[in-house]
């Protein structure tokens, strides 16, 4: 229908919908450009790091020996050997740390969410956890050094490393578990109380199972994080080129420590081992993250 | 089974806030008592005080007596867990346990109180689901999660869960407010069935519902914002809806206010 310009009524009422104005289109263009730019700036280093690590490390870990042998008896410039001793160290130190941190972290979170309320102890605990979250790993390592080695006179060992990692892991677990417990609706707790189920049993049998998938994801991510920590292994454990199964005594390798150690090795063999250890660490952490996803999917409350 | 409740001079507080003032009321056994009144008048608060759920909220406090067949549930020697086992509750929004199957939801109260006999539990599950008119709809998928049912089915599942522990009294806090008319009808029929065995107290915003299902109706009102809620009158449902003795009740049920 053509507009009748002679009709004053039509001119007086503008159409309801108008085209997007030029200024809005310009602003939209600028904002889109900025967001894309930020995305690219964030993604470039990530891709670059991954590319470098894979390009230099991948050939090293293709060798079966890498996963089965240690560096025992090899000279620095000799090719060959493997990272078995370091993988073992990283996994064992991480797992021992998790075994100590998980119960502590989960129980603190349960106290904060289910019992603490707005009490002074609860506020103080939250404050402490906040501080602990911000403690750099080197500080945690030096603290354990002071207590474990200087004060108690015990030797440097893998267990001391695990203790330092506990300080880093507990706040992360408390935080994630707390968040997960908070999103369990109060209606479920009330439904359980109304059936005559005591509070502790409600927490153990209703609240925790409902939040379990999120809690486990948090634990796995925290574990992945502490496995890459370098400061505690540098301060608290000496490097050993061979396998040491003893947690409490003697030097024990780990992947970050192996990388630091091989950096002093100027030969091509050392260069290969650094990148091999790097990609091995990335692969281990990726595996833990994948495992976290799988477990959380399997345990998440279902509707079908 | 079904016991009577006597509420005597009940005053309820949230911290410093006086939520409900001087409620006295008798709930006869095998009878449906409806609580009606405008939002915020304290009817849900009174209901929650009848099985000691009121005190779950931080700072909540109770004065007065609630007698179950003459026994005060607020005596210091009484364990609130025992009270809640004896006086069950169904909530406004259906809240099945998301990690449990339909069968486990129904028997949750018994299983978590330590009953292990699987055969007995299965019997209870069937009896309770039949009691909640849900058995025929779910008998082929008892191992499926309770969260997969429709809203109305979930609410009947919650009723089955509440009656599985065989309480003496069943409290219902607006059990149909989140449901469609057909599910509401199913629940109302169920309430009529259940009153043969249970003493029921129901809070509802729907006056037709109160008129349909209850034998006795209590009208609560609020004199003003920040004032405590009060029980205005309680009488036979028929009388309340045809010839209430208080002007405020008449105004409320005829829709002139509230």
Residue A82's pLDDT band (boundaries 50, 70, 90)?
confident
Q: What is the pLDDT of residue A118?
A: 85
Q: What is the pLDDT of residue B57?
A: 87
Positive or negative, the Cα torsion across B100, B105, B108, B110? negative
Say yes or no for a CB contact (<8 Å) between B89 and A194. Answer: yes
Q: List the beta bridge partners of residue A187.
A: none
User: pLDDT tens across B162-206, in order?
Assistant: 999 989 999 999 998 888 888 888 889 989 988 998 999 999 988
User: pLDDT tens across A173-217, in order?
Assistant: 999 999 999 999 999 999 999 999 999 999 999 999 999 989 998
Residue A285 covered by a domain: yes
Residue A6 pLDDT exceeds 70 = no
The torsion angles phi and psi of B181, rounded to 5 degrees, stand at -60, -35
Residues whose CB is less than 8 angstroms from the CB of residue A191 and which lie 6 or more positions away in sequence, other chains included = B91, B95, B97, B158, B161
Of A21-35, A74-88, A183-197, B225-239, least confident by mean pLDDT is A74-88
Residue A3 pLDDT exceeds 70 = no
Say yes or no for a CB contact (<8 Å) between A194 and B144. Answer: no
Q: CA-nearest residue of chain B to A119?
A: B58
Measured between beta carbons, the chain B residues lying within 8 angstroms of A185 are 95
Residue A66 covered by a domain: no
Q: Which of A114, A115, A196, A304 to mutate to test the interface with B (most CBs of B within 10 A)?
A: A196
Q: Name the residue facing A196 among B56, B58, B165 (closest C-beta).
A: B165
Q: What is the pLDDT of residue B258?
A: 46
Measured between beta carbons, the chain A residues lying within 8 angstroms of B174 are none
User: pLDDT tens across B4-35, in order?
Assistant: 999 999 999 998 899 999 999 999 999 999 99
Measured between beta carbons, the chain A residues lying within 8 angstroms of B58 are 117-118
The CATH number for B5-253, chosen from 3.40.50.1000, 3.20.20.140, 3.40.50.300, 3.40.1440.10, is 3.40.50.300
Q: Name the residue facing A196 among B84, B98, B158 (closest C-beta).
A: B84
Mean pLDDT of the residues in chain B: 90
Give dist(CA A100, CA A222) in Å, integer. Answer: 13
Q: CA-nearest residue of chain B to A200?
A: B112
Of A4-13, A291-300, B195-204, least confident by mean pLDDT is A4-13
Residue A231 pLDDT exceeds 50 = yes
Is the distance from CB of A277 to CB of A119 less than 8 angstroms?
Answer: no
The torsion angles phi and psi of B202, rounded to 5 degrees, stand at -125, 135
Is the distance from CB of B90 to CB of B159 less than 8 angstroms?
Answer: yes
Within 10 angstroms of residue B11's Cβ, the number of other Cβ atoms is: 16
Residue A4 covered by a domain: no
Q: In which residue are the tokens 């979930």 written?
A: B154
pLDDT (mean) for A51-71: 89
Is the distance from CB of A281 to CB of A90 less than 8 angstroms?
Answer: yes
Least Cα separation, residue B108 to chain A (angstroms): 8
Is the distance from CB of B154 to CB of B96 less than 8 angstroms?
Answer: yes
pLDDT (mean) for A144-161: 90
SS (H, E, C) chain A: CCCCCCCHHHHHCCCCCCCCCHHHHHHHHHHHHHHHHHHHHHHHHHHHHHHHHHHHHHHHHHCHHHHHCCCCCCCCCCCCCCCHHHHHHHHHHHHHHHHHHHHHHHHHHHHHHHHHCCCHHHHHHHHHHHHHHCCCHHHHHHHHHHHHHHHCCCCCCHHHHHHHHHHHHHHHHHHHHHHHHHCCCHHHHHHHHHCCCCHHHHHHHHHHHHHHHHHHHHHHHHHHHHHCCCHHHHHHCCCCCCCCCCCCCCCCCCHHHHHHHHCCCCCHHHHHHHHHHHHHHHHHHHHHHHHHHHHHHHHCCCCC
Q: What is the C-alpha R_g of chain A?
A: 28
C-alpha pair distances (Å), B113 with each of A192, A196, A200, B11, B172: 11, 8, 12, 32, 22
Q: How many residues does chain B have?
A: 258
Read off the CATH number of the domain in which A279 is found: 1.10.3720.10
Within 10 angstroms of residue A132's Cβ, the number of other Cβ atoms is: 17
Positive or negative, the Cα torsion across A70, A72, A77, A79? negative
DSSP B145: B
Residue A45 covered by a domain: no
Helix, coil or strand: residue B222: strand
Q: Name the residue facing B56 among A190, A206, A302 (closest C-beta).
A: A190
Residue A227 covered by a domain: yes
Q: Parallel, antiparallel, or unpaired: how do β-strands B32-36 and B216-222 relate?
A: parallel
Please indicate if any CB of chain A lies within 8 Å of the CB of B57: no
> What part of B 152-171 touches A (C-beta under 8 Å)?
158, 161-162, 165
Give dist(CA B152, CA A61) in Å, integer. Answer: 58
Residue A152 covered by a domain: yes
Q: What is the pLDDT of residue A14?
A: 74
Give dist(CA B177, CA B134) in Å, integer. Answer: 19
Residues of chain B with pLDDT > 70: what percent? Answer: 98
Residue A42 covered by a domain: no
Q: What is the pLDDT of residue B154?
A: 93
Q: Name the residue facing B148 among A195, A198, A303 (closest C-beta).
A: A303
DSSP B6: E
Least Cα separation, residue B101 to chain A (angstroms): 9
First-to-last CA distance in chain A?
Answer: 54
Please indicate if any CB of chain A lies within 8 Å of the CB of B108: yes
C-alpha pair distances (Å), A34 with each of A23, A57, B239: 17, 35, 71
pLDDT (mean) for B34-51: 91
Q: How many residues does chain A have?
A: 304
Give dist(CA A254, CA B58) in Å, integer. Answer: 49
C-alpha pair distances (Å), B89 with each of B44, B59, B127: 12, 21, 18
Domain count, chain A: 1
Please indicate if any CB of chain B lies within 8 Å of the CB of A115: no
Within 10 angstroms of residue A17's Cβ, the number of other Cβ atoms is: 5
Residue A112 structural domain: 85-299
ipTM of this complex? 0.89
Q: What is the pLDDT of residue A1?
A: 47
Residues of chain A with pLDDT > 90: what percent? Answer: 59
Q: Name the residue facing A196 among B56, B85, B93 (closest C-beta).
A: B85
């Amino acid at each position: 229908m053509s507009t009748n310009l002679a009709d004053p009524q039509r001119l007086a009422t503008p159409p309801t919908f108008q085209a997007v104005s030029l200024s809005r289109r310009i602003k939209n263009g600028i904002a889109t450009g900025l967001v894309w730019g930020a995305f690219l700036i964030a993604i470039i280093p990530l891709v670059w790091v991954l590319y470098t690590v894979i390009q230099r490390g991948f050939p090293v870990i293709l060798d079966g020996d890498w996963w089965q042998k240690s560096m025992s008896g090899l000279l620095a410039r000799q090719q060959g050997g493997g990272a078995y001793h370091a993988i073992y160290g990283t996994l064992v130190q991480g797992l021992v740390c998790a075994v100590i941190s998980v119960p502590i972290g989960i129980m603190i979170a349960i106290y904060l969410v289910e019992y603490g309320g707005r009490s002074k102890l609860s506020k103080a605990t939250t404050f402490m956890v906040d501080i602990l979250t911000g403690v750099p790993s080197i500080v945690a390592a030096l603290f354990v050094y002071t207590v474990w080695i200087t004060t108690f006179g015990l030797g440097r060992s893998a267990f001391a490393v695990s203790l330092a990692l506990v300080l880093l892991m507990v706040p992360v677990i408390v935080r994630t578990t707390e968040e997960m417990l908070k999103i369990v609706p109060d209606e479920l707790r009330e439904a359980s109380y109304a059936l005559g189920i005591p509070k502790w049993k409600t927490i153990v049998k209703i609240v925790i199972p409902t939040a379990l998938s999120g809690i486990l994801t948090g634990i796995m991510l925290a574990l992945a994080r502490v496995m890459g920590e370098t400061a505690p292994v540098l301060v608290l454990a000496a490097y050993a080129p061979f396998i040491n199964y003893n947690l409490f005594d003697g030097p024990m390798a780990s992947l970050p420590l192996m990388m630091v150690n091989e950096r002093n090795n100027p030969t091509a063999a050392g260069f290969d081992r650094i990148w091999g250890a790097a990609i091995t660490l990335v692969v281990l952490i990726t595996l833990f993250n994948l495992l976290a996803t799988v477990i959380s999917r399997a345990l998440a409350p279902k509707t079908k | 089974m079904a016991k009577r409740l006597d509420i005597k001079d009940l005053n309820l507080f949230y911290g410093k806030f006086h939520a409900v003032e001087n409620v006295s009321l008798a709930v006869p056994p095998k009878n449906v008592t409806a609580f009606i009144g405008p939002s915020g008048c304290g009817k849900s608060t009174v209901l929650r005080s009848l099985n000691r759920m009121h005190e779950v909220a931080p700072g909540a406090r109770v004065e007065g007596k609630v007698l179950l067949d003459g026994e005060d549930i607020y005596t210091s020697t009484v364990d609130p867990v025992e009270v809640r086992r004896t006086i069950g509750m169904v909530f406004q929004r259906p809240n099945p346990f998301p990690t449990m199957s339909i069968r486990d939801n129904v028997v949750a109260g018994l299983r978590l109180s330590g009953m292990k006999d699987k055969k007995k539990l299965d019997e209870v599950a069937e009896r309770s689901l039949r009691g909640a008119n849900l058995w025929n709809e779910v008998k082929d998928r008892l191992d499926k999660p309770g969260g997969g049912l429709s809203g109305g089915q979930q609410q009947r599942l919650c009723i089955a869960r509440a009656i599985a522990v065989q309480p003496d009294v069943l409290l219902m806090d607006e059990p149909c407010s989140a449901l469609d008319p057909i599910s509401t009808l199913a629940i109302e029929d169920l309430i009529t069935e259940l009153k043969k065995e249970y003493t029921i107290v129901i809070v509802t915003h729907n006056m037709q519902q109160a008129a349909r299902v209850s034998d006795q109706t209590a009208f609560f009102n609020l004199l003003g914002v920040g004032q405590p809620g009060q029980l205005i009158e309680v009488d036979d449902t028929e009388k309340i809806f045809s010839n209430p003795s208080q002007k405020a009740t008449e105004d409320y049920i005829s829709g002139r206010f509230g």
